[in-house]
Amino acid sequence: MKPHHIFSVALVVSTLNGMISPAMMIVAIFSWVWMPPYLLGSAGSIFFASMIVTATGTLLLAGVPAALYECVTGDRAGPVAMWIWAGSAVLLVVLGLAWRIA
C-alpha cells in the first residue's frame, strides 16, 4: 500500500472521530471564542465547525507519534510512519468511544 493511501485512512478515521468524539461538545461550548460572530447564529454551523476542528485536532495529535518515529529513525514519509499515524488515529477513536461509553 502506498503512503498516501495509508494517509487517506488516517484522514477518514480522523473525520469519524470528529463526528463522534465527546471532545466535540467541549469545542462547541467554547465556539464563541474561536468562531466569527456572524456564524454563531446557527446551530448547524456551530456543529459543523466544531466537527471540523475536532477532526483536525485528531489528525494533528495522531501525527505526533509518527513524527517522533521519523525523527528517531530518519525514515521520511515511509509506509511505517504512515501506519503509525493511522494507528494513532484509530487509538484516539477507540479512546473517545471508551470515554463516551464509561
Domain count, the chain: 1
- DSSP-derived secondary structure letter, 35: S
Q: Is the CB of residue 22 less than 8 Å from the CB of residue 100? A: yes
Query: Which cell numbers hold the place of 33?
Result: 471564542
Instruction: Give the Cβ contact number of residue 64 at 10 Å.
Output: 12
- Residue 96: give the domain boundaries: 3-101
pLDDT per residue, tens digit, the chain (102 aa), is 788 888 899 999 999 998 888 888 888 889 888 888 877 778 888 888 899 999 999 999 999 999 999 999 887 767 888 999 999 999 999 988 887 776
- pTM for this one? 0.85
Enumerate residues 6+ apart whose C-beta is below 8 A from 50.
24, 25, 27, 28, 31
